Structure 1
């Protein structure tokens, strides 16, 4: 008699599923525990959060929550100078480390963090290849020489003037209404002040300035009092239109919000291992960020296409980028040109608006500092009744410079430690040797609060410390534009903008906070951004 063996497919499935589950701990050990035990980058003895020693998930989660710099700072307060924030990433809270990790000629490279910021093609900011970076920097850096930057001053002053005109108009309009009632653009109180959120206005100002300089025309945000810019639906069609009358479809997007979303997405994606990123992109929050990356690239494509279709002899960033040649005499291709223009848009808008907003907040919070600054401005500008300062008038005002630097220190728009890969031969930081391939970073937020440099009250906004603290220590520690060969090429332009913006606005208006007890709320992607700055403004009599 033959025996018939009947197989149960559900049994087979149960066996396979159980076997797979049993393999999960083995996979976890191989992927996370074994590298920790092998310790290829000699980091096991470095303290830090337990999960961070085994997985990039800790830093990924912290970055996605929007307060990475504050969290890492707390870790340094707890553990000391060295903190392990990922299986192969050590944060070093030591000003001297800037000279080691980011120094010229040390051979260190940008980590794969920067890959998450690539959209059209690699630009100066996210290029990791040393030779390619040197080529791009040679083309771009001369554009931001002090001589060239001064050619952009009329453009900057034009839009600062537009902002002041808008605030004057809102102030006059509100003043005509009954006190304690809401008027156009703000609330006019019984104390004779117009109350508004200054952050959107600083965003409009920064976008219009950089839109004019990078693309040849402003986005019109100040005059329209609206966050809106055209984006190409199809980047391919817009690229085809360069230099021709070809048409392509555009839609209006809230550019400031898109830029915020893109920054948060790329900064949180960048700290995750490359092999995780395709899967993580499927999560809802990351899908939104991916769309923001595409829209922001489409904005640059549309703006450059528009400019190249209607040639002009005006002098701006785009015209100088078009003229730039590498060592072989070659001009940039259209995609590279657009990618670099997008880099300038991102770098030149967020930083300026965030810093202007932070400076306004801290001056409103500290009336004595505001009064000292306004006295210096009144004395320097005298009877000049033009509402917008010139760079020549304000470039050497010591208290104005101290106010701006102190806000850049306390707020630290660029706060996170920018990761670098240790080169062949390794690096020694504070006596600790790190082998080739280790990833190191120096967090600006934390070194800007080093009590040995800044005194016992580093969290306080106090411009006077710039006249009291050791100048050499300050020069070594203050890091608003990064350090070394990968430092911000637009530093001269940013400095000129802030000097003109802050001197003009503070000479014309007096500021108070709407809610003095409310903390200055920020959220961090790649940059640390204010969420709002509600102030009451009153026109001054000078």
Structure 2
């Protein structure tokens, strides 16, 4: 071997400097130029050439979903959209590269009805982390199969059979109130009640929030619900983050954040309850909802349990708390309600049937107005424009198939066109008399059509029983008379100020 032919260090450096470095430099330069060109072309396309470019909207919203994530996390996206509709004088505004928000009350039933094929937007609903549940499932046929199993448990007839369960839970709430001195956190108190109702109905065993919460009705599952809602917007608009969080081991996730720890606890307990129903079927006078799904695997059954427990408790809990605040802030409303309850409920220890409560006109009007005014899920419900439906036109502009569109209960429930000049006011009187009979068609708190809320009959029943019991038994006063509920829209309404304190004294006989 001729050692003289082996290059020295200087020669090696020269070779690297003369050959590879230019290749690397040119590669980086070319890649950078290509990327910049892509950004420019993508920007031009989305702003000027995209099929939805003819609709107005903030330029930032037209370029990516970052704008939508930001306004959602600020807490009141529907109010932002409302102002943009006014600014652009348009019934349809662009809120994401391929999504429109629509503010035309005549369009609602065209999009959300019993026959339309506007499917749920898959990526948005994937953020809930409960695949194939009746709420999340976007495939119409799969949804129909699942809903057919659950519908019998949430019909008016079935809910009428829950009267004993509902009475037991409101009386249990009353015992908790009577066992301690006030003031009381009414928001958490009613949430504990609705959690125990839906968990008992779904699994045959309550989660025990009324028994195990502290003196302010703070319960571990309430914390878990709040943790789930805190992450929803990020999960919806950042699929990569969603995938990462779902992929990392649970032990690491628990260390990473408190929210992750609470979320996993909620999912674990719901899956455990579902598995118990599957393995140990039991009988109940009112049936057990999850028993209808015992043929599913544990994962799907657990996902349904998560959705049912959250959708069936936290939502109604907010509306109930908001109703208490509105009633207490309006002396005339409170006076009329108490008088109607005194006439309709001679003995609070013997509450009427659900039908009997519904026949107390002012109570029924108050419940309906609370559901209209304090919307548990106020935001838009994204749908995909189908290819096989009639052309969708807003503001004389055609919306192409494949576009994402959405309308909200907020738009519908506060429309002056539908509700009059006092749409922003809490007014149960609007539901009385002949004029009130037609208003149900305008209220969209539970959405409309094939994908309307599964549990709306249960929510009506809970509202009637809990409000009737509380105001028939107690004189309720806000500790802070000017107290208003401050909320953020996290798809479901989240109360930023959890302590809504009230004084409660039994009515004098």
For Structure 1 versus Structure 2, the TM-score category normalised by the shorter chain is 0.7 to 0.9
Q: 2:170 aligns with which of 141, 155, 160?
A: 160
Which string of whole-angstrom CA distances, capped at 9 and with x for unpartnered residues, describes residues 205-241 of structure 1? 111111111111112211222499xxxxxxxxxxxxx
8 A contact 2:194–2:462 mirrored in 1: no
**Alpha-carbon spacing, 1:34–1:447, altered in 2? closer, same or farther (3 Å):** same
- Show structure 2 runs of 5+ residues with no match: 1-6
8 A contact 1:522–1:529 mirrored in 2: yes
Q: 2:323 aligns with which of 340, 354, 359?
A: 359
8 A contact 2:120–2:382 mirrored in 1: yes
Alignment partner of 1:262 is 2:232: no
- Show structure 1 runs of 5+ residues with no match: 175-193, 229-252, 326-330
Look up the match of 1:395.
358
Provide the rounded CA distance (Å) in 2 between the counterparts of 1:226 and 1:518: 23
Q: 2:371 aligns with which of 402, 408, 433?
A: 408
- Cα RMSD between the aligned structures? 3.2
* Larger gyration radius, structure 1 or structure 2: 2
Provide the rounded CA distance (Å) in 1 between the counterparts of 2:484 and 2:208: 32
Q: 1:489 aligns with which of 447, 454, 461?
A: 454
Look up the match of 1:58.
67
- 1:27 offset after TM fit, Å? 3.7
Q: 1:104 aligns with which of 101, 114, 130?
A: 114
Look up the match of 1:134.
144
- 1:285 offset after TM fit, Å? 13
**Alpha-carbon spacing, 1:99–1:225, altered in 2? closer, same or farther (3 Å):** same
Tell me which moved more, 257-266 or 462-471.
462-471
Look up the match of 1:539.
506
Provide the rounded CA distance (Å) in 2 between the counterparts of 1:23 and 1:457: 56
Alignment partner of 1:322 is 2:285: no
Tell me which moved more, 136-145 or 449-458.
449-458
**SS in structure 2 of the partner of residue 423 of structure 1:** coil
Provide the rounded CA distance (Å) in 2 between the counterparts of 1:374 and 1:196: 20
8 A contact 2:348–2:473 mirrored in 1: no
8 A contact 2:228–2:259 mirrored in 1: yes
8 A contact 2:150–2:292 mirrored in 1: no
Provide the rounded CA distance (Å) in 2 between the counterparts of 1:216 and 1:355: 25
**Alpha-carbon spacing, 1:77–1:430, altered in 2? closer, same or farther (3 Å):** closer
Provide the rounded CA distance (Å) in 1 between the counterparts of 2:62 and 2:437: 36
Provide the rounded CA distance (Å) in 2 between the counterparts of 1:313 and 1:267: 39
- 1:380 offset after TM fit, Å? 0.9
**Alpha-carbon spacing, 1:114–1:286, altered in 2? closer, same or farther (3 Å):** farther
Q: Trace 1:199-348 onto structure 2 (pairs within 5 A).
A: 199-226=187-214, 254-272=220-238, 274=239, 277-278=242-243, 291-316=261-286, 318=288, 320-323=289-292, 331-348=295-312
**Alpha-carbon spacing, 1:385–1:125, altered in 2? closer, same or farther (3 Å):** closer
Look up the match of 1:328.
none
Tell me which moved more, 495-504 or 91-100.
91-100
**SS in structure 1 of the partner of residue 369 of structure 2:** helix
8 A contact 1:161–1:388 mirrored in 2: no
Provide the rounded CA distance (Å) in 1 between the counterparts of 2:375 and 2:458: 18
Which string of whole-angstrom CA distances, capped at 9 and with x for unpartnered residues, describes residues 275-331 of structure 1? 67547989999966555543322121112233445442214553x543469xxxxx4
Provide the rounded CA distance (Å) in 1 between the counterparts of 2:173 and 2:433: 35
- 1:372 offset after TM fit, Å? 0.6
Look up the match of 2:408.
443
- 1:129 offset after TM fit, Å? 0.8
Which string of whole-angstrom CA distances, capped at 9 and with x for unpartnered residues, describes residues 260-288 of structure 1? 2212323442244x467547989999966
Provide the rounded CA distance (Å) in 2 between the counterparts of 1:468 and 1:457: 17
Provide the rounded CA distance (Å) in 1 between the counterparts of 2:92 and 2:329: 34
TM (norm. structure 1) is 0.81
Q: Trace 1:62-73 onto structure 2 (pairs within 5 A).
A: 62-73=71-82
**SS in structure 2 of the partner of residue 219 of structure 1:** coil
Provide the rounded CA distance (Å) in 2 between the counterparts of 1:74 and 1:204: 36
8 A contact 1:449–1:459 mirrored in 2: yes
Tell me which moved more, 448-457 or 488-497.
448-457
Q: Trace 1:370-381 onto structure 2 (pairs within 5 A).
A: 370-381=334-345
Tell me which moved more, 351-360 or 299-308.
299-308
Which string of whole-angstrom CA distances, capped at 9 and with x for unpartnered residues, describes residues 96-145 of structure 1? 211111122221110021111133x4210110111101111111112211
Look up the match of 1:509.
474
- 1:459 offset after TM fit, Å? 1.9
8 A contact 2:209–2:221 mirrored in 1: no
**Alpha-carbon spacing, 1:288–1:129, altered in 2? closer, same or farther (3 Å):** farther
Provide the rounded CA distance (Å) in 2 between the counterparts of 1:277 and 1:31: 25
- 1:507 offset after TM fit, Å? 0.9
Provide the rounded CA distance (Å) in 2 between the counterparts of 1:471 and 1:392: 18
8 A contact 2:121–2:383 mirrored in 1: yes
Q: Number of paired residues?
A: 484
Look up the match of 1:183.
none
Which string of whole-angstrom CA distances, capped at 9 and with x for unpartnered residues, describes residues 438-477 of structure 1? 1111111122211122222322212122348955873332
Provide the rounded CA distance (Å) in 1 between the counterparts of 2:351 and 2:269: 30
Look up the match of 1:417.
380
Provide the rounded CA distance (Å) in 1 between the counterparts of 2:292 and 2:270: 19
**SS in structure 1 of the partner of residue 502 of structure 2:** strand
Tell me which moved more, 45-54 or 491-500.
45-54
**SS in structure 1 of the partner of residue 179 of structure 2:** helix
Tell me which moved more, 146-155 or 156-165.
146-155
Provide the rounded CA distance (Å) in 2 between the counterparts of 1:10 and 1:535: 74
**Alpha-carbon spacing, 1:46–1:162, altered in 2? closer, same or farther (3 Å):** same
